[in-house]
Amino acid sequence: MLLNILTIPKDDPVAFTFFTGYMAMLAASVFFFFERGSVDKKWKLSLLISGLITGIAAVHYFYMRDYYMATGDNPTALRYIDWTLTVPLMCVEFYLLTKAAGAKSSLLWKLILASAWMLIAGYIGEAFSDGSTGHSVQWGVLSTLGYIYILYTAWFGEVAQLAEKSNSTTVKNGVRTLAWFVLVGWSIYPIGYMCMDGGWLNTMLGWESSNIDLWYNIADAINKIGFGLVVYNIAIKESE
């Protein structure tokens, strides 16, 4: 197959979002790293993590983009390696934000465990798909259990309760905004998942499987850059 990374077909939105996604992640990382200098010492670690999330994504987008342009396939392994690193780092952001209100490291480990569960089940559902709806739905449902655990923790569980106890309204509101990201932004991923071959939506609507990356690319930009910007806003306000 011809390696064709210089021309983006004008009717290929997936390629388009791989290029813009890559550049946006890179720019966001530069922004978060530089802005570490504008916030109080106690917020520098949070901004570093924001920069690492988009930075790790930028490197994976670099490779995923080329993989997609060369093969036209979904870069499933690269995608899940990226998520395996970046989703736990997002859990670290929740932990750091609620630490001042008394978050224990056990909270962090529970969130990381739930994300590992969610991603391993999702990977099995995608990478070992036999094209059947049964396989896709079974692993999708198992994965969703991990997602619901994180969602519950952010909205009603430990994270929400600790944020409520925080004496800063900025932190309280910020954590609530991040919980919205987990509810709305993260829900784009299972929708994308259901569009794969054999996926529930794909079967129902007869969509193309390559659409899966369009969903994932849009979701990643919202969740990684948007999430980081919320943390950045909290840090700036709290540093004033």
Ligand X SMILES: *C/C=C(C)/C=C/C=C(C)/C=C/C1=C(C)CCCC1(C)C
State yes or no: residue 32 binds ligand X (CB under 6 A): no
Give the separation between CA 136 and CA 148, rounded to whole angstroms.
Answer: 18
Only one of the segments 12-20, 21-29, 60-68, 83-91 lies at the binding site for ligand X (rule: CB under 6 A); that segment is: 83-91
Applying the rule CB under 6 A, the residues between 155 and 194 that interact with ligand X are 186, 189-190, 193
Q: Is 7 left (phi over 0), alpha (psi -120 to 50) or beta?
A: beta
Q: For residues 233 and 35, is the Cβ–Cβ distance under 8 A?
A: no
Task: For residue 186, give the nearest of 105, 94, 103, 100 by alpha carbon.
Answer: 94
Residue 223 interacting with ligand X (CB under 6 A): yes
From candidates 84, 129, 133, 144, binder to ligand X by CB under 6 A: 144
Does 118 bind ligand X (CB under 6 A)? Our answer is yes
Q: Are 217 and 79 in contact (CB under 8 A)?
A: no
User: Cα(201)–Cα(166) distance, rounded to whole angstroms?
Assistant: 41
Binding to ligand X by residue 224, rule CB under 6 A?
yes
Nearer to ligand X, 98 or 115 (CB): 115
18 touches ligand X by CB under 6 A: no
Smallest gap from residue 28 Cβ to ligand X (A): 12
Nearer to ligand X, 40 or 156 (CB): 156
In whole angstroms, what is the distance from residue 136 CA to residue 129 CA? 7
Asked if residue 87 binds ligand X (CB under 6 A), the reply is yes
Q: Which lies closer to ligand X via its Cβ, residue 196 or residue 235?
A: 196
232 is a site residue for ligand X (CB under 6 A): no
Contact 5, 63 (CB under 8 A): no
Determine which residue in the list 35, 197, 213, 220 makes contact with ligand X, applying CB under 6 A.
220
- Residue 71: CB partners within 8 Å, gap ≥ 6? 1
Amino acid at 184: V
Residues in contact with ligand X by the rule CB under 6 A: 83, 86-87, 118-119, 122, 125, 140, 143-144, 147, 186, 189-190, 193, 220, 223-224
